[in-house]
Amino acid sequence: METLRKPFQGISNIIRFNAHLYVSALAIAVLLATLGRVVPPEYRPYVCTLCIIVAGTTLISLLASWYIYDWSPLYRMAWLDEWQVASGSIIVNIHAGFDETSSLIRHKFPDTVLQVFDFYNPVTHTEPSIKLARKAYPPFPGTVQVSTRSLPLADRAASQVFVIFAAHEIRKGEERDDFFRELFRILQPGGRVIVTEHLRNWPNFLVYTLGCFHFLPRRAWLRNFVHSGFRLHQSIKITPFITTFVLKKNDAST
């Protein structure tokens, strides 16, 4: 699996697609360091403290991102090795404009039918990083553009559905409910939906500070799962910063 990703691919993508944020942080740190030399002596400790906070939090977020996306076993997906998936089964991978996982899933399950859906909408998904990523990485062959509220699959067609670092881009709770209801509709009895996300929790706040509020708290995900008919079958902590939810249909619904 390691050969499918280049060394430092994760951290280089983060810097590349969020360069405007890191340039801004660097400019602020340089400005504060310069001010620390010219302000009256009684104000210098405060300016220096602010400079250290800006530089330190930026460095910590980069180190954490390197750990998560390059060093940790996240993209090796070793926990999938024990799953038995029948040859010819339909596996669905759904993303929000930037797809780093379809080739990994294809490698894991070569005898299945992989269908890739992209629900990116330039009207509602306005983050510059996604636009840059879409220009840099061509879509996986056969990727289909979809709506979060309408997936082009028949009822109970898919044996596994992956939604990796994508569902949080659906910012409205009601739309997320509709999205997971669609996943419920297309999932076979006994099948799994795999949702991997950062959570809005203390570990992510400590490394991403205010950026943590782009993520959703665990309770919001659990509420979406319940509203759409799923039960939480398993929760996997790949790192302290990443949680994978494995969902199955409620027994009464299968």
Size (the chain), residues: 254
Q: For residue 93, what pLDDT is reported?
A: 98
Considering the chain, what percentage of its residues have pLDDT values greater than 90? Answer: 73
CATH architecture of structural domain 75-253: 3-Layer(aba) Sandwich (3.40)
| Tokens linked to 213 | 């509020």
- Give 54's pLDDT tier (boundaries 50, 70, 90): very high
**Where do the domains of the chain lie?**
2-71, 75-253
| Tokens linked to 176 | 């997320």
pTM attached to this predicted model: 0.90
The secondary structure of the chain, three-state, reads CHHHCCCCHHHHHHHHHCHHHHHHHHHHHHHHHHHHHHCCHHHHHHHHHHHHHHHHHHHHHHHHHHHHHHHCCHHHCHHHCCCCCCCCCEEEEEECCCCCCHHHHHHHCCCCEEEEEECCCCCCCCCHHHHHHHHHCCCCCCCEECECCECCCCCCCEEEEEEECCHHHCCCHHHHHHHHHHHHHHEEEEEEEEEEEEECCHHHHHHHHHHHHHCECHHHHHHHHHHCCEEEEEEEEEECCEEEEEEEECHHHC
- Give 27's pLDDT tier (boundaries 50, 70, 90): very high
Q: For residue 148, what pLDDT is reported?
A: 95
| Tokens linked to 245 | 């939810």
Q: For residue 126, what pLDDT is reported?
A: 63
Cα distances (angstroms) measured from residue 48 to each of 30, 35, 44:
11, 9, 6
Roughly how many angstroms between the first and final C-alpha of the chain, as a whole number?
A: 33
Give the chain's radius of gyration (CA, Å): 21
Contact 201, 217 (CB under 8 A): yes
The Cα angle at residue 238 between residues 232 and 239, in degrees rounded to 5? 125
Q: For residue 89, what pLDDT is reported?
A: 96
Q: For residue 137, what pLDDT is reported?
A: 79
Q: What is the mean pLDDT of residues 32-55?
A: 91
Q: For residue 17, what pLDDT is reported?
A: 87
Least confident of 38-47, 140-149, 171-180: 38-47
